[in-house]
Amino acid sequence: MSTIPDFDVTLNEQPVPAAERERILADPGWGRYFTDHMVTIQYDAERGWHDARLRPYGPIALDPASQVLHYAQELFEGLKAYRQDDGSIVTFRPFMNAARMNRSARRMAMPEIPEELFVAALEQLVRVDRDWVPTADGYSLYLRPFMFATTRALGVNQPAQEFTFAVIASPSGLYYKNGIKPVTVWLSQDYTRAAAGGTGEAKTGGNYAASFAGQAQAVANGCDQVVWLDAVEHRWVEEVGSMNLMFVYGSGAQARLLTPALTGTLLPGVTRDSMLKLAPDLGIPAEEGKISIEEWQAGCESGQISEVFGCGTAAIISPVGAVKSADREWTIGAEPGPVSMRLREELVGIQYGTRPDPYGWVHKIV
């Protein structure tokens, strides 16, 4: 039996005119423009998921006592739709995002959404707004599914009963407009992103709200992004900004990849998982482990660590060129490294259909 309800479709009678849309798609930036439509699906304890709609993009009316506004019961996802050379439009591993949203939902005491319904919502939106998927090389349509508690109640002793799931879409250009340039990162020793038993592995807005002060501190210290360390010893490296971190030990035929293991405080990235699978196929052994800031610094100084990069859907990879903190500072490299770029090329090739897709990760929509 299908769990997918019919979407009630109301088309936007005033879509962005084609010429204006083309102008936006020529230089969309990131997260600044939105397509003509959105999806919303309602949930309540009695009816489950219902009232699935595709409708014009626009404001959502909320009761001022909605729980999300007071207690941040919210979660989100992020993935992209890519236009391939043959004109088809695809997404990448959308069922992995669906499964992750449901893991986030369990942690945040929110309802799970059937994976098929999650993917159907993406498909609905991308089909109707297909002209918003850019054609330029490396551009894409960023998809943002999210869910929030709409129960009208200030009491917290009763779990929320009503929720809205929505999907919006935003055209996205190249993350690095002028070529990929390594960033400088700040080791945050004052702030923590996540502690054991907390919400670090859930993709929830509260983790971001808690990170903005650390990011501001990084910028105040002349850095681009903040590196999050473990909450107990402030030594073990966890993530960079909103990306997972990868360390390349050795080089050439000896190169191997290490990424911090998923201890419960890290967000399990789809990009991270994909790199862990692709690297060995390219002859680069990959493992999950533990790395301290002392090991990171010593490894760079001895030359044992040759490249470091963040990875996530938005940037794909973001090389780290230098590291700073209140009491130490070291460099890695002024140019993106060959292993970082090789992995990036492989992943992007699969997403845009210019390389074989050995794991069946590409999901065709149109």
Ligand X SMILES: *Cc1c(COP(=O)(O)O)cnc(C)c1O
Interacting residue ranges for ligand X, rule: CB under 6 A: 78, 203, 239, 242-244, 267, 269-272, 312-313
Quick one: 149 or 311, whose CB is closer to ligand X? 311
Least distance (Å) from ligand X to the CB of residue 78?
6
Least distance (Å) from ligand X to the CB of residue 270?
3
Q: Which residues sit opposite 154 in a β-bridge?
A: none
Half-sphere exposure of 181 (CA within 13 A, CB side): 7
Using the structure block, give the residue that is written with the tokens 């960033």: 183
Least distance (Å) from ligand X to the CB of residue 9?
29
Quick one: 214 or 312, whose CB is closer to ligand X? 312
Distance CA 101, CA 227 (A): 24
* No. of helices (H) and no. of strands (E), the chain: 9, 18
Closest CA to 62 of 163, 150, 146, 159: 150
Closest CA to 60 of 166, 134, 141: 166
Quick one: 49 or 352, whose CB is closer to ligand X? 352
Least distance (Å) from ligand X to the CB of residue 93?
9
Q: Which residues sit opposite 183 in a β-bridge?
A: 320
Q: What angle do CA 325, 326, 331 make, to 5 degrees?
A: 35
Using the structure block, give the residue that is written with the tokens 């493992």: 287
Quick one: 151 or 188, whose CB is closer to ligand X? 188
Least distance (Å) from ligand X to the CB of residue 243?
5
Quick one: 73 or 242, whose CB is closer to ligand X? 242
Distance CA 90, CA 156 (A): 41
